[in-house]
Amino acid sequence: MQHPDKLGKYAITGLLGEGAMGVVYKGYDPGIGRQVAIKTIRKSLAADHSTESALSERFRNEARAVGRLNHPGIVAIYDLGEHEDNAFIAMEFVEGRDLSQILSATPNLPEPVILRVMHQLLDALEYAHQQGVWHRDIKPANLIITSAGQLKVTDFGIARIESAALTQVTSTIGTPGYMAPEQYIGESFDHRVDIFAAGVLLYRMLAGQPPFSGSAETVMYAIMNKDPTPLSQLTDGDLAAFYQPIVNGALARDAKQRYANATAFRTALLKRKDVDAASAAETTIIVHSARGAGEPSPTRSGSGHSGAGRATQQTALTGWDATMLEPVQTALARFMGPMAKVLVRQAARKCHDLPGLIILLTQDIPSPEDRSKFLTLMQRHASTGTLGSTAHQTRETGASGATMERQVLSPALIARANLVMAKHMGPIAKIIVKKAAAKANSPTQFVALLAQEMPDGPQRAQLITEFQI
């Protein structure tokens, strides 16, 4: 389709997303000098006049609902207008990724991250509810995590609607699996539909899977008649013991049995005392870091967010230098996006040398090709000296008389290398290992040199996965 150069006063500077009924553009407001996201609906695609009216009213409803809200956890709306065949909303341009992308990469989030997400979400919902607005479609795809770790709620298109006629049209609009029972059967409802959806999200993050799954009909039946699988069968017993009553209080089929408001829900979560307060407070979701040349920034239709944010510095861990871990985290963020920091912290707690750290991290990268690319990046860092190590170091004098640092390769690492390489290369493996050990100035470089002996792609990635600790 032909994309406009302008929508109203806004200059179009990019395309963020495109769906069946409309497009989300990146734009520029010349009057204020700021970037905006512009969500549009092509009115001519509506099947009939009544559908067009309903779509237009939903647009106006979103502008009215969010226009009255001023909260750091809610995407701001600036303007509502029409331009030729397009109705549009100009809104805050947010750099980040939505939570569905984060959960796709890392289904089981660490508990401090879960709590941070829930506290921010419930704070935003409580504010919106106090202003007489309830969202009605809370789900991971409508929750953006910015590059600074701030959660932003977006897409209020089906928020509480005052028009009785429009309510009838949209009363069952929502996302299967996140809709409360009263939404399915068309009963009157209130802000507690958002409490139910937030409970679904909490369960999803704790269990690594949604509480209700299957076809739309199966999900509807389960929500109306069945309880989700107990958390005790899906996660750690300590987590299950604490969170199961909270999940039950949010997912009650009878709205009257749910938490009365988001504050009550949040207060229940605040009773979690076993999570280190400092760790929870400092936990930041890294959305993305420097990306490869030509690699597109992440976007999501309906929000207008993308980015090339810089990864924040890794908090120091016992035995690790934060500046040493930063290049590892930055490289991993290319492939794992928002969870790079968390994954590096987890791996750093389990091992005390860079080879072990990198080997652990490769296990978190789903794509074999990406694993190989990650290893190549690590080798580059090792060759340029930007990686350090907590491993023991010895001083050697080169032919030029210059003193250089050389990290000792442990006998265990050499033995493992011989075994791994023998599977792939047969009798010649010992020679290759010996040559790599002679060249390598660190265990990281040693593993990287061995991997170079394999063809780039799945075979190289497979070799790396065999260097497990």
Query: Which of 5, 85, 98, 137 is labelled catalytic?
Result: 137
Active site residue 276: no
Q: Tell me the three-class secondary structure of the chain, residue by residue.
A: CCCCCEECCEEEEEEEEECCCCEEEEEEECCCCEEEEEEEEEHHHCCCHHHHHHHHHHHHHHHHHHHCCCCCCECCEEEEEEECCEEEEEEECCCEEEHHHHHHHCCCCCHHHHHHHHHHHHHHHHHHHHCCCCCCCCCHHHEEEECCCCEEECCCCCCCCCCHHHHHHHCCCCCCCCCCHHHHCCCCCCCHHHHHHHHHHHHHHHHCCCCCCCCHHHHHHHHHHCCCCCHHHCCCHHHHHHHHHHHHHHHCCCHHHCCCCHHHHHHHHCCCCCCCHHHHHHCCCCCCCCCCCCCCCCCCCCCCCCCCCCCCCCCCCCCCCHHHHHHHHHHHHHHHHHHHHHHHHHHHHHCCCHHHHHHHHHCCCCCHHHHHHHHHHHHHHHHHCCCCCCCCEEEEECCCCCEEEEECCCHHHHHHHHHHHHHHHHHHHHHHHHHHHHHCCCHHHHHHHHHCCCCCCHHHHHHHHCCCC
| Contact assessment for residue 152 and residue 146, using Cβ atoms and an 8 Å cutoff | yes
Cα distances from 270 to residues 114, 246, 275, 398, in angstroms, run 12, 11, 10, 58
Report how far residue 331's alpha carbon sits from residue 354's, in angstroms, rounded to the nearest whole number. 14
Q: Beta partners for 405?
A: 395
| Contact assessment for residue 110 and residue 342, using Cβ atoms and an 8 Å cutoff | yes
- Quick one: residue 335, left, alpha or beta (phi over 0 = left, psi -120 to 50 = alpha)? alpha
Cα distances from 353 to residues 357, 391, 443, in angstroms, run 6, 6, 8
Q: Which residues are annotated as catalytic?
A: 137
